[in-house]
Amino acid sequence: MRVLLIEDDASIASAVIDSLEAVGWDVGHEASGIAGLNRLASDSWDVLLLDLGLPDLDGIEVARQARASGAFPIIVISARGDESDRVLALELGADDYLVKPFGMRELLARIRAVHRRAGSEGEVPLSTELVVGSLQVDTRTRRASIEGTELDLTPKEFDVLAYLAKEPGSAHRRETIMQDVWDMNWYGSTKTLDAHVASLRSKLGDARWIEAVRSVGFRLQEPE
């Protein structure tokens, strides 16, 4: 696995690099946002580890540009533990958020989890197309269309839609969606999920596609 680390703290970077290389992974490191983005553009990576407190660009902006440049998983590692920072990073496309200080065993587990969920281990399901009425969601190509018109979805919007489309008509708890789609133990507000659902409803062209189930969460079904 190839992991790019963007982290300006030399001691943290050294510890992370040693831990990842100890399990046989190829690790690249940059200490600034601009250098990190240039490294992303010039090479191929399986996972990005991103600090938010960088000396030149704010890590949130780096996350936004990184997400626009590719579909690789992004794990934010930051001393910022505020919910607002977590929500913003996740809304911009980060797949996980780890607050410093953290254990290296946990970091390795998080990296393996997002890598597995991204399908980087080469396992392709026999059937990758989910069909709900006029909505088609292809988990292999990561494309979704409605009545033949392709939807312009962010990576996490696609993940939420695909998750709901696997069991159309079933009600899914908010906390379960957060844990499964973001692949993390989620505690506290789920307003980042609300933001993704609101955007999906707009792009689907009818808010009734995703129904809010009171005191539970959401269900996907074709509007009558």
List pLDDT tens digits, range 70-87: 778 899 998 877 778 777
* Rounded Cα distance, 12 and 103, in Å: 11
- Terminal Cα distance for the chain, rounded: 46
- Res. 189: pLDDT tops 70: no
| Top-confidence range, 42-51, 89-98, 171-180 | 42-51
Angle formed at CA 176 by CA 138 and CA 3, multiple of 5 degrees: 65
> How would you classify residue 24: left for phi > 0, otherwise alpha for psi between -120 and 50, otherwise beta?
left
* Rounded Cα distance, 136 and 113, in Å: 26
**Scanning the structure block, which residue is given the tokens 């988990």?**
139
Q: For residues 17 and 110, which has the higher predicted lDDT (pLDDT)?
A: 17
* Rounded Cα distance, 128 and 140, in Å: 6
Q: How many CA atoms lie within 13 A of 83 on its CB side?
A: 7
At 92 the pLDDT is 74
| pLDDT tens-digit readout, 57-69 | 988 899 888 888 8
Helices (H), 43-154: 59-69, 83-91, 104-117
**pTM for the model:** 0.58
Environment class of residue 211 by beta-carbon count within 10 Å: exposed (0-12), middle (13-18) or buried (19+)?
Answer: middle
| pLDDT tens-digit readout, 141-165 | 889 999 989 999 988 899 899 999 9
- Res. 188: pLDDT tops 60: no
Q: Could you give the domains of the chain?
A: 2-117 (3.40.50.2300), 129-220 (1.10.10.10)
At 68 the pLDDT is 82
| pLDDT tens-digit readout, 193-219 | 888 999 999 999 999 999 999 888 999
Q: Which residues pair with 213 in a beta bridge?
A: 217
- Res. 115: pLDDT tops 90: no
pLDDT, mean over the chain: 86
> How would you classify residue 142: left for phi > 0, otherwise alpha for psi between -120 and 50, otherwise beta?
left
Q: What is the largest CA-CA distance in the chain?
A: 58
